[in-house]
Amino acid sequence: MNSSQFSSFILTGYSNTGQLNYLYFIIITMLYISILFSNTLFVVVICLERKLHKPMYLFLCSLFVNDLFGSIALFPALMTNLISDDHSVSTVHCFLQIFCIYSYANIEFVNVAVMSYDRYLAICYPLQYTILMTPKNVCVLVFLIWLCMFVHMFINVSLTVRLEFLYCDNYLVVKLACSAPDITVKNVYGLCGLVLFLAVPLFTIIFSYIKILTICLKSSTETRQKAVSTCTPHLASLLNFSFGCLINLLQSRFDKPLETFPPVLQTIISVYFLMCQPLFNPIVYGVRMSKIRQACRNILPVHLQQKT
């Protein structure tokens, strides 16, 4: 059956939640509100505080905006399906969700890779850093990251639309297709995208932190402490996101590694990188970076006074 011959299909993942739907709805709503509040707060703080108009914080702002983008792609639909008896989803919404979620994942990984390279330049080439990483160059780089990821996913989803079966996970669309005349083109494009948007950022991250570690081992204790304080949040965010993506990859590609887990736990694990990463980033950067905490103290009281 070709995808153009039907307009919707049923999401079966909600059939296992039973009477706990409303409890899950409350928990997810609280989580979603926390994500919206924390990420929006830091975006506003970075935009309003001129002292934070520096490369590292501009990249962070892009990261927080992307976390909002990813959570919006998941939570509203998830919350609606939890309290609704109708678990059907339109093909348009399905492809839109694929586009948004995969764009979010690609932007997140490439953004973290660029942030690691930014830390490499700041620590290893401090004199040239201000020339290379001007606010204008950073804004252009962030724009290119978002533009390239959107174009990449638009092409990817366009190739998926032409398959003769569909499901709201890009890999499962191809895996479950009844027949796929364009599967060779899609596989070749997917392989090129894997090298360009996974292998290259991964190499950048490994290269940057190896160089940073080498410099730190040769530097003073004060320099090492400064490098550790700035790099720790980036590494924590990277490891958390990579863990979530790896688990999702294992579950979608191989059923056996997670088949012994309870269905609810399998569901939570499958969306871990979408649920926890947008909340993890504001916590780890807000706690670790004193300038962001101070900027919050400087800005929030002013707005509260204006409201009163």
**Predicted TM-score (pTM) of this structure:** 0.81
Q: pLDDT tens digit string along 264-292?
A: 666 667 677 778 889 889 988 877 777 78
Mean pLDDT of 69-79: 86
The per-residue pLDDT for 64 is 94
Assigned token pair, 133: 């990483």
Q: pLDDT tens digit string along 28-59?
A: 899 999 999 999 999 998 988 888 888 989 99
Strongest mean pLDDT among 9-23, 82-96, 110-124, 208-222: 110-124
Task: Kindly give, in sequence order, each residue whose CB lies less than 8 Å from that of residue 98, ignoring residues fewer than 6 positions away.
Answer: 157, 160, 168, 169, 170, 173
- Asked if the model's pLDDT at residue 114 lies above 70, the reply is yes
Mean pLDDT of 212-218: 82
The per-residue pLDDT for 166 is 40
**Phi and psi based region of residue 117 (left: phi greater than 0; alpha: psi -120 to 50; beta: remaining):** alpha
Lowest mean pLDDT: which of 13-17, 108-112, 215-219, 238-242?
A: 13-17
The per-residue pLDDT for 35 is 93
The per-residue pLDDT for 215 is 83
The per-residue pLDDT for 81 is 75
Closest by CA to 245, choosing from 266, 265, 274, is 274
Mean pLDDT of 228-241: 82
- Asked if the model's pLDDT at residue 165 lies above 50, the reply is no
In this structure, are residues 82 and 136 in contact, taking their beta carbons and an 8 Å threshold? Answer: no
Assigned token pair, 237: 């965010």
The per-residue pLDDT for 1 is 38
- Asked if the model's pLDDT at residue 254 lies above 80, the reply is no
Closest by CA to 35, choosing from 294, 289, 281, is 281
Q: Is residue 218 very low, low, confident or very high in pLDDT (cuts 50, 70, 90)?
A: confident
Burial class (CB in 10 A: 0-12, 13-18, 19+), 174: buried
Set out the domains of the chain in order of their start, with CATH numbers: 16-307 (1.20.1070.10)
Give percent of the chain with pLDDT exceeding 90: 14
